[in-house]
Amino acid sequence: MAFENERQFPDVQGSEWYALPVNYLARRQVLGGKEDGKFHPEDPVTRAEFLKLLALVSGKKINSQRLQGKFSDVDNNAWYAEYVYWSVKEKIANGVGDNRFAPNSPISRQEIAVLLWRYNKNAMGRVLPKNRTMNFRDASSCAGWAAKEVAKVSGAGLLSGYEDRTFRPWGKATRAEAAQIIYNYLGSYQKFEQGCNIDDLRYIMHGGGQTGQFLVSNSLQAMEESYGWGNRMIEVDFSWTADQQLACVHGWGGEYPPYSTLSQFMQTKIFGSLTPMNLDTLAAWMRSHPEVRVIPDFKERNTEGLRMISVRYPDLIERFLPYIYSIREYDSVKNLGFRNIFLILYRMPAAEKRDPSQVMAFAKEKDLAGVAIAPFQEREYFAAAQKAGIPLLCYVVDKLDWMVDMARQGADGYFTDRQNVRIQW
């Protein structure tokens, strides 16, 4: 498979958050660079440029008919004239008053929300998916004509807020942001069945799964190999980089790359030969593999990492199935919008996990997706899980005879490195 982040512009580095959507759309000839061959990601995007993006991703034939005199500032011979008139015909865009369209004016984030909502409803005849309710700190500053659309588009995961929980409706959107928004929109209509059942939980690939002789690489090759074997539930480790970004790596140093910035990490090779991944490259991979779900294992600052996922990728939030490492984490993780949550015991305070029946009562009350245990250290949990009716997952189990033995005791599934080890249930 051709990876989604092959570089298309000299000023779009692979480590930047916008590299994936920009390169993806460029290869599909939806967007291009400027006259100097560069993309200029931080430049503002204009009203006309954004309408062109919508027109190209619609897949519709754009009627070249001009509406002479409709807008005094739209020259019939301008490159954008056909996109302006297409948007008017499709009831996506209007003028700005005084017989003007303002095609070259920078577009605001709330204007994008309105245009995208109208495009989806009027041009494509679709209903936006609703993933969550966004509570932006500056929601009251939205214009009255945009408030509803901002709520719907952000709730569908198409237009994210910032890490300070603001939306900044009057802010001018950049070319990079426009690429991300269109990319999000395309991904939002990849159908995916949500929720967990026991069959989903039988085998969860640990650390991406094995590739060659390598275990716990969290690499692109491991993800592809796990997928090739038919696995659709994959655990991925996350560690914080020196510049406070998320790298898919089990830890720093030793056999893994040294502690570094994200850019430096992405220039290394895992175990000397494997392609590293980060949150953004993983999200792109998930979009191209829409039936896969990922269990993120944060080595520290779990809630903070999950918050970053929820802010950057609200459209994927249903496909991330997070751990909580303590009962006390549940409310904060649930409030971020995650639905299927696992309780894992390996970092749980001893006082919390002392009584298996109480832990399972909590799991049942909160309708957790499952509880993960170290089976040789926490055998007392088998009976408690069966009594409570909570799926019990054992980690990390790579031997067939161990799987058989644990299934007899009541295990419902395994975290495993081996893609091809299976038992008869």
**pLDDT surpassing 70 at residue 7:** no
DSSP string across 111-165: HHHHHHHHIIIIIS------------TTGGGS-TTTHHHHHHHHHTTSS---TTS
CA of residue 293 relative to chain centroid, distance? 10
If one compares 268 and 125, the residue with the highest pLDDT of the two is: 268
Structural contact between residues 97 and 70, judged by C-beta atoms closer than 8 angstroms = no
**pLDDT surpassing 50 at residue 141:** yes
% of the chain residues with pLDDT over 70: 92
Looking at residue 194, what is its pLDDT?
Answer: 42
Distance separating alpha carbons of residues 25 and 53, to the nearest angstrom: 9
Structural contact between residues 409 and 379, judged by C-beta atoms closer than 8 angstroms = yes
Distance separating alpha carbons of residues 221 and 3, to the nearest angstrom: 11
**pLDDT surpassing 60 at residue 199:** yes
Looking at residue 24, what is its pLDDT?
Answer: 77
**pLDDT surpassing 50 at residue 193:** no
Query: Each residue of 121-132: pLDDT tens digit?
Result: 888 887 776 666
Residue 321 pLDDT grade (very low, low, confident, very high; cuts 50, 70, 90): very high
112 closest CA partner among 37, 189, 170: 170
**pLDDT surpassing 50 at residue 2:** no
Distance separating alpha carbons of residues 147 and 357, to the nearest angstrom: 47
Query: Each residue of 366-417: pLDDT tens digit?
Result: 989 999 999 988 989 999 998 888 899 999 999 999 999 999 899 999 999 9
Query: Each residue of 12-64: pLDDT tens digit?
Result: 887 788 888 888 788 777 888 988 999 999 999 999 999 999 998 887 777 65
Predicted TM-score (pTM) of the model is 0.58
Structural contact between residues 405 and 384, judged by C-beta atoms closer than 8 angstroms = no
Tell me what the mean pLDDT of segment 293-308 comes to. Answer: 95
DSSP string across 243-289: TS-EE--S-SSTTSPPS--HHHHHTS-BTTTBPP-BHHHHHHHHHHS
